[in-house]
Structure 1
Amino acid sequence: MILEDLSDSQLLKLARRDAAAFEALIRRHAPRVHALATSLVGAASADDVVQEVFFSVYRNLARFRFEAEFSTWLHRIALNACYNQLRRKQPEPISDLEPVLVSPLESPECLAERSQLRELIEAGMRGLPPEQREAFALREFSGLEYAQIAQITGAQLGTVKSRINRAKAALRSYLTARGVVPEGELHV
């Protein structure tokens, strides 16, 4: 049996007695959880948050009742861990919101522009209201659907869509005021 071919529900049932199944869940979901943590607490604290999240998931595997999707439960735990981290200490500057894919053909000017843009987006995100930042991060960094975000945050679907749209508009305005005009839909 190839664990990577199993659904989250199947892996969860196996993970209660099989460490390899739990490791498969970690491999599947850790990149998104890390991206979310990085967007909310900064790169320096993201690894600690991810470790805390998966430790909490492991401790509470027996309590998962399969009433919601695993990813919804996981992201709620991740948000709670991020908020705990933020309460423990001041937020660090967010960096590396997206992996930098460096092409040997990419010029130093392009790399510098990308770095500057990433810093501007980070600063703009820090200025968003927490509800908007949370919804935007879940959508853009974790790739969750609006319905999943509504379930995680406890907000109505329309409220989630509104928060994300307001966050995008605020970031677009922030970037434009600093001389960067995003083309098309704002994605980070």
Structure 2
Amino acid sequence: MRRHAPAVHRLAAGMVGPGAADDVVQEVFIAVHRALRGFRGDAQFSTWLHRITLNACHKALAARQTLPFGDVPEPAAPHSPVRAGEQAALRDALHAALAALPADQREAVTLRELGGLEYAEIAVLTGAELGTVKSRINRGRAALRAWLSGAGVKP
């Protein structure tokens, strides 16, 4: 858990937002604990873990659709008000930009940029062709760039 929790949290934060990521991480490790005996080793452990994480993210996103208060922004950290405010604004903008992407692009970009997975690993994990994964990531990055530029976020 100590080894994989940061990567699981990054992936979850990219998919469901930083405020809901902790709950998703908890669900992921509960699911891993329950299913670990059934892990056959047909795939790498990290690939299996990413799939469980994606399933938990999709479940959290589906549950959020039924709640009227699903898009409550995460409060800023209390330590440095200026820095925390800047980080919170940037995090909120990035979360909103990711949320604006189609689900398949958001998933591919999040796995690549936040999960650090290679294109081939993403293809195996999502069941998409390698070219499709590359296309989704390219389109997703372009859409993120356009959305963030339109929101006034500078690189």
TM-score by length of 2: 0.84
- Separation of aligned partners in 2, 1:94 and 1:72: 30
Report the number of matched residues: 149
- Separation of aligned partners in 2, 1:141 and 1:94: 20
Q: Structure with the greater relative contact order (CA < 8 A, sep ≥ 6): 1 or 2?
A: 2
The CA RMSD measured in Å over matched residues stands at: 2.3
Distance 1:116 1:88, change over 3 A: closer
Distance 1:121 1:42, change over 3 A: closer
Counterpart residue type for residue 74 of structure 1: L
Identity of aligned residues (%): 54
- Aligned counterpart, 1:15: none
Q: Which runs of 5+ in 2 are unaligned?
A: none
- Separation of aligned partners in 2, 1:133 and 1:146: 14
* Secondary structure of 2:43's aligned partner: coil
TM-score by length of 1: 0.70
Which structure has greater helix proportion? 2
- Aligned counterpart, 1:122: 95
- Aligned counterpart, 1:178: 151
Q: Which runs of 5+ in 1 are unaligned?
A: 1-25, 183-188
Larger Rg belongs to: 1
Shift of 1:46: 1.7
- Aligned counterpart, 2:130: 157
**C-alpha contact 1:42 1:94 (8 A) present in aligned 2:** no
Shift of 1:89: 2.5
- Separation of aligned partners in 1, 2:73 and 2:10: 11
